[in-house]
Amino acid sequence: MSRSGAYILVIDDEVEIVRALQRSLSAHGYKVFTARSGEEGLMLNAQHKPDLLLLDLMLPGMSGLDVCRQVRKESNVPIIVLSVKGTERDKVQALDLGADDYIPKPFGIDEVLARIRVALRHMAQIQMGTEPHFHSGALFIDFSLRCVRVNEQEVQLTPTEYDLLKVFVTNRSKILTRQMLLTQVWGADAHSREHSLHVYVAQLRRKIEPIPDQPQFILTIPGVGYRFNEM
């Protein structure tokens, strides 16, 4: 679904931003719907079933966080949050509610287009089912055998390290908050593991990164969490 012709719903009350997005997205072949409030956005989302949402957090009336929460109750449509710099708490909360990515305002249209392509491609991969293997740069993973290789050499991971890597790869290019990682890897045990997550990430980097101190795969998103970068 990274194809042109995908339906995109823009929910933002800033007129100039909406116009710029509508013009640029339409020029790249996307079909664009726009809403100026959360309530209108939910109505259009129900009517048109878009392939992706661009959602501002600062909306009149119903907040963007409430919109995200409501949409996630009904759909796994990709949601990219548009946010003003400095609202780290809202960004983390939106991601924990199920948003796939965020882009700080002001932003360049090329960045928006790139993030849209990544989100649509990731959704298409999910819809096709679980991949038997993953290959990016020097990293190769065979999920059926739980086998990880770097530069064609098998790497020994602990069960927890493997589970963490699988969560990263399955959600690649998506920002994962610390809470999301804790919940997906440790489940009910997440709270007791809160202070050790960074240790497991560091161990994983030492085993799969060409230069662990300059990671290319597992990127830190300051104040938010991590993103797995597919090379």
Q: What is the pTM of this model?
A: 0.72
Computed from CA positions of residues 50, 56, 60, 62, in that sequence, does the dihedral angle turn out positive or negative?
positive
Taking the alpha carbons at both ends of the chain, their separation in whole angstroms is: 20
Percent of the chain clearing pLDDT 70 (strictly above): 94
pLDDT band at residue 142 under the 50/70/90 scheme: very high
Q: 76: which residues sit within 8 A by CB, 6+ positions away?
A: 98, 123, 126
> How does the average pLDDT of the chain come out, rounded?
89
Q: Indicate if 133-228 has the same CATH topology as 7-128.
A: no
The position carrying tokens 């993103």 is 227
pLDDT for the residue numbered 228? 95
pLDDT digits (tens, 9 = 90+) for 1-44: 445 689 999 999 999 999 999 999 999 999 999 999 999 999 99
pLDDT for the residue numbered 121? 82
Tokens of 230: 């597919």
pLDDT digits (tens, 9 = 90+) for 58-73: 999 999 999 999 999 8
Which range has the worst mean pLDDT, 93-97, 203-207, 215-219? 93-97
Return the axis-axis angle of helices 197-208 and 159-170, rounded to nearest 10°.
Answer: 80
Determine the topology of domain 7-128 in CATH.
Answer: Rossmann fold (3.40.50)
Q: Are 157 and 203 in contact (CB under 8 A)?
A: no
In this prediction, residues 147-152 reach a mean pLDDT of: 95
Cα–Cα–Cα angle for 74, 77, 184, rounded to 5 degrees: 85
pLDDT for the residue numbered 109? 94
In this prediction, residues 145-160 reach a mean pLDDT of: 94
pLDDT for the residue numbered 191? 79
Indicate the domain borders of the chain: 7-128, 133-228
User: Under CATH, which number does the domain 133-228 receive?
Assistant: 1.10.10.10
Radius of gyration of the chain (CA): 18
pLDDT digits (tens, 9 = 90+) for 66-122: 999 999 988 889 999 998 855 678 788 888 888 999 898 889 999 999 999 988 887
